[in-house]
Structure 1
Amino acid sequence: MKNVTRFLLAVGLGLTLFSAVGSADPSKGGKIIDKLLMRSGGCPIPASRVAMAHSVAEWAKIYKEGKMEEEIQKLCHKKEPLPKITNKKYAKDVYDYLSTYAYDSGGVPA
């Protein structure tokens, strides 16, 4: 009985520690948008206003269709291509930021 309890405690602790590693980070997504869009002169509006342009469900649909860059380009009113922000390395963080601070999410960027 004592060994089973220790084993279950170890498994629970292990799952707790490793579950946060694979999740996306909204603050990282906001920094990516700010760095690659605003500072490069590509977009005149702040990342928070880009996020508030759609609801959570709309951003989810845009993300699943792979059209985040196109949508952000439309929101920035730019005809020339913007810097790549949604490659595989950054896409989940950018999406997490956009959905966390969408107009119906209740989130307020700091």
Structure 2
Amino acid sequence: MNEKILGFDGLRGISVLFVIASHAEIWSRIGGDNAAVASIFSAHVGVSIFFVLSGSLITHLLIKEKKETGSIDLRAFYARRALRIFPLYYLAVFFRAIAPTLHKPT
């Protein structure tokens, strides 16, 4: 059931870079004071692209499962989603919890 759609990983990677660059304020650091450029390459656009692509991929996989098996096993679907999302979620929570201890005030 693991299928790749050409270009999705690259587009999702670009959308993640939009979010990282926005949070790191890269555009203002490199002299990009243009509000139009900042709004196009913003975290909001990156998150929107990421969710649209992820939703498209999930829909594609569910339609494929329905065609191949005649039904959709929602329990298996949610188990796959949990196994894919929760490890990274807990990693992010862990780093967020230890982040204050990493900062040494000067």
The TM-score with structure 2 as length reference comes to 0.31
Q: Between the two structures, name the one with larger relative contact order (CA 8 Å, sep ≥ 6).
A: 1
Relative to its length, the structure with more helix (as a share) is 2
The TM-score with structure 1 as length reference comes to 0.31
